[in-house]
Amino acid sequence: ALTSGVTAIIASDQAVINYASTKGVELHISTQVNISNIETLKFYAHFADVMVLARELSLKQVAKITESIENDKITGPCGELIRVEIFAHGALCMAVSGKCYLSLHEQNSSANRGACLQTCRKAYVVTEKETGYELEIDNEYIMSPKDLCTIGFVDKILNAGVKVLKIEGRARPAEYVKMVCDCYNEAIDSCINEDYTIEKIKDWENRLSTVFNRGFWDGYYLGRKIGEWSKDYGSKATKTKEYIGKGTNYFGKIKVAEFQIQSGSLKVGDEILITGPTTGVIQTHVQEIRVDLKNTEEAYKGQTISVPISEKVRRADKLYKIISV
């Protein structure tokens, strides 16, 4: 990890924690450890400078922990006060984090090894074993919680002494990562600049709803004791992407990208997404389309098009059209 440029390792297994400590790798303690009190945090402060607290805590409990860190001067290996990190956005487990073995039991695929097969996300019927009677329930997704979204109370999180916000994004596409990180970075900046407003919160919520989500709720941070369950399988995103083609050239002097359309069509005004390993994510609207140097309102499969794009596009970058669901 050190030679590969990894800046820190998130760990919960004590063997991994001990081994990493001997190698001088910076350690962050995973939420899988379920740190929920100051005594547990004190123990792990021997190994790590950053603690990801249990997702089941309320902000009052989080604040009590951060206050104790300040008052008791609890430091990590680097000599600085322990930094507290919490989950701010993304999927939640129906069990206490790290304590669910459904996937391991059903499919021999362990969630604690990063291989959860999401057994909890499936639809179920509830049947009484003795009589065979099936219970009438209003939601067949009895173990699938909605996704966590804290964009509406980032100010409270920062006031609770949290130093790092964690985004859950395993197996999510690049546009998800960009959108979520952009929104939360803007929210943090707004809190610092004292212009964190309801209008901005509504805008962030709308933007977050355009990428993968199972519906949103506040988690347990504001005092909720019972989870909120999703009523649908998969994503409830308000937008989806349709593959259009790939990049074939980029003319840097005039900032024009060339694409080959391999599926569907594209017209002026469409919202597009361009992704690639080096390019990352570019999201914009089509201002102009040219085919054989001639302006056109719409282009179709098989055509090679030129589109003004201010950021560099690379060959084989993928071009998508964003569509409202």
For the chain, count helices (H), then strands (E): 7, 17
Return the structure tokens found at 142: 């009895």
- Which parts of the chain register pLDDT below 70? none
pLDDT of residue 233: 86
- CA dihedral of residues 290, 295, 298, 300 (deg, nearest 10): -40
Q: Long-range contact list for 34-39, CB < 8 A, 24+ apart?
A: 34/96, 34/97, 34/98, 34/99, 36/61, 37/65, 38/64, 38/65, 38/68, 38/69, 38/72, 38/74
pLDDT of residue 156: 98
pLDDT of residue 239: 96
pLDDT of residue 257: 98
Burial of 37 (0-12, 13-18, 19+ CB in 10 A): middle
pLDDT of residue 93: 87
CB 196 within 8 A of CB 187: yes
Delineate the domains of the chain, giving CATH numbers in brackets.
2-90+146-217 (3.20.20), 96-135 (no CATH), 239-324 (2.40.30.10)
List C-alpha distances in Å: 268 to 18, 251, 306.
57, 20, 12
pLDDT of residue 47: 95
pLDDT of residue 291: 97
pLDDT of residue 175: 95
